[in-house]
């Protein structure tokens, strides 16, 4: 409780003048109110900054190790072979690995851009390996279509998962269905590149299993009563 500066009588916080001598009382903020205001300071989340610092440290360490690996491999190749032969492949692979690390640790891309960036780096990796081979052939005719189709299928799967209101068995059906399509596409590319005719073999077996299984999972998800769905989840630990 405050006291009047003139007569010393105890007064309330809300009074503006002393009830005894009518002396003007200055506006005093109670200590209890100050303590209550400072009791719960504004919370700050320091996790993102620590997480970013940790990623920078990891990237710096792995970058230094990768650069040392390139120099060691090159020096060993020169020492034993008197020229640069196999170390070209390790150099290209390590440089591509550094780009993978940069995409994962140093960039904050959306999922779609992340997938496209990883696919682009993968294509340049196989392209450089093909160039190091001395003959630009398989990276264009086989590698590029495989990576392009894989990227399309992965992006399609992400899109299907996003628009699914009640994800469950349907996600497994989408994955199996897209993997089956990808198997057919890869088998077709192999036939065109090496057999010069489309005679599908192993992908047909996968299709006979994959398509009916995906249809069955879709039926379970959308048509089966909830009580039977629960039995499936318990049975297969889903």
Q: How does pLDDT run along the chain (238 residues), one tens digit per residue?
A: 666 776 766 767 666 777 667 667 666 555 545 445 555 556 566 566 788 888 889 999 999 999 999 999 999 999 888 888 889 999 999 999 999 999 998 888 889 999 999 999 999 999 998 888 877 778 888 889 999 999 999 999 999 988 887 888 889 999 999 999 999 999 998 888 877 778 888 999 999 999 999 999 888 888 877 776 677 667 766 6
d(CA 48, CA 94): 29
Question: In angstroms, rounded to a whole number, what is the distance separating the alpha carbons of residues 221 and 237?
Answer: 16
Stated pTM of the model: 0.71
The 3-state DSSP class for residue 158 equals helix
Q: Is residue 52 part of a domain?
A: no
* Number of domains within the chain: 2
Quick check: is 148 in a domain? no
Task: Answer yes or no: is 199 within a domain.
Answer: yes
**Residue 138 Cα to chain centre, angstroms:** 30
The verdict on residue 158 lying in a domain is no
Rounded CA gap, 48 and 111, in Å? 19
Q: Which domain covers residue 25, as residue numbers?
A: 1-43
């Amino acid at each position: 409780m405050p006291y009047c500066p003139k007569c010393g009588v105890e007064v309330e916080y809300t009074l503006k003048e002393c009830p005894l001598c009518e002396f003007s009382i200055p506006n005093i903020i109670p200590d209890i109110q100050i303590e209550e205001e400072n009791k719960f300071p504004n919370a700050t989340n320091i996790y993102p900054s620590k997480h970013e610092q940790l990623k920078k440290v990891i990237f710096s360490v792995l970058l230094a190790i990768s650069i040392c690996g390139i120099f060691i491999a090159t020096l060993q190749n020169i020492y034993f072979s008197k020229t640069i032969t196999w170390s070209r492949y390790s150099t290209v692979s390590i440089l591509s690995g550094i780009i993978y690390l940069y995409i994962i640790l140093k960039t904050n891309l959306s999922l779609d851009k992340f997938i496209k960036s990883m696919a682009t780096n993968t294509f340049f990796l196989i392209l450089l390996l093909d160039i190091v081979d001395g003959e630009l052939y398989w990276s264009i005719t086989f590698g590029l279509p495989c990576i392009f189709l894989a990227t399309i299928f992965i992006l399609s799967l992400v899109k299907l998962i996003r628009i699914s209101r009640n994800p469950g068995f349907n996600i497994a059906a989408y994955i199996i269905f897209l993997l089956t399509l990808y198997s057919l596409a890869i088998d077709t590319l192999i036939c065109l590149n090496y057999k010069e005719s489309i005679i599908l073999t192993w992908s047909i077996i996968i299709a006979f299993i994959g398509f009916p299984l995906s249809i069955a999972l879709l039926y379970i998800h959308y048509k089966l009563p909830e009580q039977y769905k629960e039995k499936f989840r318990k049975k297969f630990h889903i």
